Structure 1
């Protein structure tokens, strides 16, 4: 193919927030020691959307174009709509000498979401992926520069709506399931809504699809998945590449902050580790747009970035990441532990660390169940903000998650209504966050207020709220409801044999009547089974505390393995 110069900007894309840094001659020399320099011709394709990006490319001479999609397919399938800033067809970058291409997916085995073409004759430095991984995780200067740029680029791609195209109805639970999966895994994507996007209907007709085929997922413009399962999408994206070994030193169930910390510290200690999760790494923390009170990050860090960095550490130290796959059943027969997963896989580890966290509580409100899959959200990230646009939104809850969501959504929504049952936010929200909420001109706080009813026909149109003190009611127009009213422990898969407290949290340490005084502080009533993070009774519901427990439990796992689990 030839480069579509008629669409290409004439000048190099300016750097944005460190997304497109230029490597220094010294850094280029370091990379050249593990790579090879090759000549490229005008129009030569270095990578095509939908295919693995086999190498890390740095421009040495000439210029390359990065097009978010396949230019051939985009020109034939749809007319680029330059007036829509979120349209994937509009995202074109030009890079000259010293610039490198790719994003975080290159380090995670994902296919390229962009086509990369040489605009003129020149030379590129090609570095194998395994060497790049070694540099990113081992060289504090070059590694951090590349990693930071890749994380920013992924965030930008998500904001643009590049990457996957999901064709379906926004009122369909199956469509929402696919969108949630993409969002949780931080995969750039865009919905072509059959209800309001003429292009979506045109594509469905051209492909000859029927109702049973929808929703459709198009991976980078080339691979078409008809009404796919989550596992099928994850395999197409390279997110689920290997099955876990039948046994290991430790199986960690749940890849939130506590589970990630356990996997990193256990694997770095030389233990064989399998880390599993039902959906994606990061847990609830990955759904936070900005975490501002985590030690060492004075300007804050997004939950997604924290999860991506931890992900790379998990891989660096050799742990096996197994996701998405849901733990269905745990058994302990004569001390032999076994966990069965939703795809039929069984793992028989020497120890199990339960880090499965919490499941969000749903709002029991009249008529709301009709809109559960179309208008109710349990996370507020850039993906949800893009779906809401400038429309007013309602956030329900009085804790930090609700406060963070309100502040983040107020950056794009015309107005945010924060509905809190309590009369004083200080009981459950950090003071720094209260100050941001109360001072924001587009946030209204409704204290001592609950949601009484949801209104709408095919979609949510408004909610009725009631003031608990006076009983007065008010109607608030909105099509988007964000719910942060707490959660319950996700421990049903463990069965009834492991002791819990009255709220369902796992009891650890020498606290239960059936326990031995030799039980480790984070060990459950079943020898060799430990619990960390939010699912544990008495845990501090803070991300830093969960990470601390994940690090601490590794020493207890070592002790269990060394003693054979004896509690005598």
Structure 2
């Protein structure tokens, strides 16, 4: 329970770049027409950590403290204080996730409670209100993530399951903190207090004492409140989008905004391969660059605003034709029936053909470079393998914290497959050592990677490079295993499209967009464009059958 006596008199938290704005008279009047006024007393809990918030709260009088229910010692921590005309919560209010914080009244007054379902309708009708709330909520979510607030993942850096949970949390932009069993003094005392043995780790700690022992991704998603495919088998679906990367999210935004009943399914998270990019600097409209996860988060909110239903994690395992419709099989759930399908499952980076590599995958060998992997590496030296944009972006990102980044490029010319702006930044960085015409021959280490042996293919000279981790970006293999026996694929496993329509597959009514499509341009902007184009083809296929 929250002890309100621990909440001392604090000044109201100042606004930070629009994260804590005040409602205008007109906005309050609009919300008041759809909400209920409630008087409050000191100590009232409006919503608690772990709750799903049924209401959107605006403070009319008094003050409310935002509290992290407990630190590692079990004590509540006051994070912020809000007063009149401010609204509470963060992104989870709109997405249906459980709250990561507790809100407690410490100065009595009055609040306005608006049902979240009504709020979503209002956001769709009032762009000004939508901009105010969405901007604040996106910023608040980013602040929680940066501060390490939220649930705690306790586990060893040498555990693949720890890495899996950290990756799932990061990819889904879930506020969390990692407590490493290997070197954090608080880990042992926290486990003792929770009655957990080191052998039972990794564990996820939520709230004061709720513990999940090595949960699967689906179990963690349910506990957090990530949306499952909230669609019954008999729902009339116009468009099923498989894959929630840039192409899939674009299809979801355009499909839902144009009146199609749209469902989006993804096995891991929104964002796809682009979601793992630390910085996209050449995407139209973002002159300062944007991270892949931020871009995906905004797109997912946009799609949901228009009514698209997004299910994560929901792994699609098959596609077949059934009585004029398409049956989409979902692991662990009922199949969905849809009039049309957009395949947007993208591609993943290939593995290096190096003996013993699998021993280090998940702990020292990675196929993405996000804050999760950067935290695990600390300031140790790392190796990046690849000559494309993803390898370049990863090298620059890792150079912010690593003592040294060695970029291994198979070809003799860095500009052959990498954008010029990345090449110029890499060549200017004193912390990045580029090894051209070089390939990895051996990985060395015990529990974790210690070094990488490389060979110059021109001279035959071999060198051993110290490395705490290796990041691999060497070309893509499509996510099309689930399509076996359905639409036509090319020799490399990518979906063939055309000639009737540019994105049409061998099955009329099924379209492919983004990296999964044979011959596609592997760029975020291209994927977004194809996702939008696919919806126009869907409309053409459906004709007058859209309600």
* TM-score past 0.5 threshold: yes
Task: Give the paired residue count.
Answer: 543
Contact preservation (8 Å) 1:158, 1:383? no
Deviation at 1:335, TM superposition (A): 5.3
Q: Which moved more, 1:136-145 or 1:250-259?
A: 136-145
Q: Which moved more, 1:209-218 or 1:290-299?
A: 209-218
Structure-2 change in CA distance of 1:111 and 1:336 (3 Å) = closer
Match of 2:98 in 1: 111
Deviation at 1:278, TM superposition (A): 0.8
Match of 1:561 in 2: 542
Contact preservation (8 Å) 1:418, 1:445? yes
Q: How does 1:375-524 map to 2 (within 5 A)?
A: 375-510=364-499, 519-524=500-505
Contact preservation (8 Å) 1:335, 1:527? no
Deviation sequence 1:513-532 (CA, Å, 0-9, x none): xxxxxx32211112222111
Structure-2 change in CA distance of 1:95 and 1:471 (3 Å) = farther
Q: Which moved more, 1:227-236 or 1:56-65?
A: 56-65
Q: Which moved more, 1:215-224 or 1:540-549?
A: 215-224
Confirm or deny that 1:195 pairs with 2:176: no
Contact preservation (8 Å) 1:159, 1:386? no
Confirm or deny that 1:260 pairs with 2:238: no
Cα distance in 1 for partners of 2:359, 2:456 equals 24
Match of 2:342 in 1: 353
Given candidates 131, 140, 164, the residue that maps to 2:151 is 164
Structure-2 change in CA distance of 1:215 and 1:522 (3 Å) = same
For structure 2, which runs of at least 5 residues remain unmatched after alignment?
none
Contact preservation (8 Å) 1:506, 1:531? yes
Cα distance in 2 for partners of 1:245, 1:173 equals 35
Is the partner of 1:471 in helix, strand or coil?
A: coil
Match of 1:152 in 2: 139
Match of 2:279 in 1: 290
Given candidates 86, 89, 95, the residue that maps to 1:102 is 89
Match of 1:19 in 2: 19
Structure-2 change in CA distance of 1:6 and 1:558 (3 Å) = closer
Cα distance in 2 for partners of 1:15, 1:473 equals 56
Q: Which moved more, 1:348-357 or 1:120-129?
A: 120-129
Cα distance in 2 for partners of 1:414, 1:127 equals 51
Structure-2 change in CA distance of 1:234 and 1:45 (3 Å) = same
Deviation sequence 1:65-117 (CA, Å, 0-9, x none): 2223x14xx4xx6167xxxxxxxx76722333343332211110011101122
Deviation at 1:8, TM superposition (A): 6.0
Confirm or deny that 1:537 pairs with 2:518: yes
Match of 1:42 in 2: 42
Structure-2 change in CA distance of 1:139 and 1:497 (3 Å) = closer
Is the partner of 1:259 in helix, strand or coil?
A: helix
Contact preservation (8 Å) 2:451, 2:464? yes
Deviation sequence 1:306-335 (CA, Å, 0-9, x none): 212221222222222222111112223675
Match of 2:116 in 1: 129
Deviation at 1:255, TM superposition (A): 1.0
Match of 2:222 in 1: 235
Deviation at 1:547, TM superposition (A): 1.2
Cα distance in 2 for partners of 1:344, 1:31 equals 38
Structure-2 change in CA distance of 1:220 and 1:484 (3 Å) = farther
Confirm or deny that 1:374 pairs with 2:363: yes
Structure-2 change in CA distance of 1:362 and 1:211 (3 Å) = same
Structure-2 change in CA distance of 1:23 and 1:383 (3 Å) = farther
Contact preservation (8 Å) 2:438, 2:455? yes
Cα distance in 1 for partners of 2:524, 2:380 equals 31
Contact preservation (8 Å) 2:319, 2:486? no
TM-score w.r.t. the length of structure 1 is: 0.87
Q: How does 1:208-287 map to 2 (within 5 A)?
A: 208-209=195-196, 213-246=200-233, 248-287=237-276
Contact preservation (8 Å) 2:65, 2:105? yes
Cα distance in 2 for partners of 1:285, 1:138 equals 31
Cα distance in 1 for partners of 2:391, 2:23 equals 40
Confirm or deny that 1:526 pairs with 2:507: yes
Contact preservation (8 Å) 2:191, 2:198? no
Cα distance in 1 for partners of 2:229, 2:220 equals 15
Deviation at 1:372, TM superposition (A): 0.5
For structure 1, which runs of at least 5 residues remain unmatched after alignment?
81-88, 511-518
Deviation sequence 1:18-59 (CA, Å, 0-9, x none): 433344555445544444443333332222111123333334
Deviation at 1:420, TM superposition (A): 2.1
Deviation at 1:355, TM superposition (A): 0.8
Given candidates 63, 73, 81, the residue that maps to 1:78 is 73
**Over the residues paired in the alignment, what is the CA RMSD in angstroms?**
2.7
Deviation sequence 1:435-494 (CA, Å, 0-9, x none): 222223433333223332222211122223333333333333332222222211111111
Structure-2 change in CA distance of 1:391 and 1:41 (3 Å) = farther
Contact preservation (8 Å) 2:495, 2:505? yes
Q: How does 1:3-14 map to 2 (within 5 A)?
A: 10-14=10-14
Cα distance in 1 for partners of 2:22, 2:413 equals 50
Contact preservation (8 Å) 1:375, 1:481? yes
